[in-house]
Structure 1
């Protein structure tokens, strides 16, 4: 059976900001869907232990006060997220993540911060990721316009309820991946191993191309091409 017709695991984070080294998890969702089985979703609200900037709160709707009053300790949330994703990976289920290098890298740094065994650590080499943004850039590389989840949902005719809530975004990413594999048979024909390996190369190529474009205006521009996890560059904040 083609991978997109079987079970998929969607994952999404909403965070305190966009720095994978220092920002923290605020909300998260892991959702299992497809494969002719009922949809099952687990969501979390974390107390990140730091102030949630006003700009981030406007995006996902969670203020510092709400997170402190209602959120679980961040370390518990990180441990539970990783356990859910590891279980899906062990079962051979692909983890669908829009812009995977952000979510997985931030999760990795949070795991180190809270001394939790990381998802991509020793003995967990069976992780197979599907990233709708990488796929879209590969199969339709010359299309103009943005490639955010909202824009991909519009392009692939996928409903997106409550954008920037972790549960809605996780479900929408899976639906976009399904549409992509349905529209482009070359994606559906790949095994998960082949697709994961191909995305590593595609991400590097896409980053190099984007960097070349940016350097026409800024010779020092650097676009990160590591996928699905960005290697550590500096010590994270404690």
Structure 2
């Protein structure tokens, strides 16, 4: 099976959470498998106390209940350890671009730890699968690895399956370049400004990616309707989204005052 060619380590990770809203929901389990340039694999797996009740419908999926995490550390108590573990790593996962990375960024920000993944490469194995076959992770594992997944929706089982699927994809598709920057380009999709993808870059300019101003430059909206910024800051948007619109507004004001 193909071994991923690496210029630096890449950390594949999977989150189990209280729900699917990256702005509101919290992590209950995180599993990371760090692939080193020498072929070594290092794992980091933790149950996390989300400091909120786990909805029954979420527990039914991943099998983690309130009693399972009542004595586990809150994310803020493992955040520095995790940040160090991920230091200088590219990031990978299954649907990680649109879910796991935004959720992880929110948890870091809640813990008071600034995050900046702009220099990282992202490899979303789901995007390769969707572009080639379009199935779920369990089906991807069966399709590419000819095995049935055990303990699906356990974070560790999911992340190990993700790595196996990627290695099998590299074997199967001759047009896939075995290189993290190339896989980043293949799986990345839109260039985003915030991890929740409320804003994306269009010709290098941040534009809104939702609502009535979709496709309109953020600065143009803030010039014409300054209260839109206030509405976003007071609404239930992700912390990273609010951080990025504040940076855009501050740059506008600095230019205006020069």
TM-score, normalising length from structure 2?
A: 0.67
Task: Please give the alpha-carbon distance, in whole angstroms, between the structure 2 residues aligned to 1:34 and 1:171.
Answer: 15
Larger relative contact order (CA 8 Å, sep ≥ 6): 1
The answer for the alignment partner of 1:214 in structure 2 is: none
The answer for the alignment partner of 2:78 in structure 1 is: 77
Which of 87, 91, 96 is matched with 2:92 structurally?
A: 96
Higher gyration radius (CA) = 2
CA displacement at 1:67 relative to structure 2? 1.1
Moved more, 76-85 or 146-155: 76-85
Verify the 8 A CA contact 2:53 2:66 in the aligned structure 1: yes
SS in 2 for 1:179: helix
Residues 126/3 of structure 1: CA separation in 2 closer, same or farther (3 Å cut): farther
The answer for the alignment partner of 2:196 in structure 1 is: 230
For 1:114-193, what aligned pairs fall within 5 Å after superposition? 114-118=111-115, 121=116, 124-138=117-131, 140=132, 143=133, 147-157=135-145, 159=147, 160-189=149-178, 191-193=179-181
Task: Please give the alpha-carbon distance, in whole angstroms, between the structure 2 residues aligned to 1:186 and 1:64.
Answer: 45
CA displacement at 1:5 relative to structure 2? 4.5
For 1:18-97, what aligned pairs fall within 5 Å after superposition? 18-33=20-35, 37-69=39-71, 71-89=72-90, 95-97=91-93
Unaligned runs of 5+ in 2: 199-231, 240-258
SS in 1 for 2:46: strand
Verify the 8 A CA contact 2:34 2:42 in the aligned structure 1: yes
Verify the 8 A CA contact 1:10 1:174 in the aligned structure 2: yes
Q: What are the Cα deviations for residues 157-187 of structure 1, in whole angstroms up to 9, with x where unaligned?
A: 2543311111111111011011111111221
Verify the 8 A CA contact 2:61 2:153 in the aligned structure 1: yes
The answer for the alignment partner of 2:107 in structure 1 is: 110
Unaligned runs of 5+ in 1: 90-94, 205-224
Moved more, 42-51 or 32-41: 32-41
CA displacement at 1:10 relative to structure 2? 1.9
| Aligned residue-pair number | 198
Q: What are the Cα deviations for residues 67-109 of structure 1, in whole angstroms up to 9, with x where unaligned?
A: 112x1122123433333223433xxxxx320001200011111
Task: Please give the alpha-carbon distance, in whole angstroms, between the structure 1 residues aligned to 2:24 and 2:146.
Answer: 32
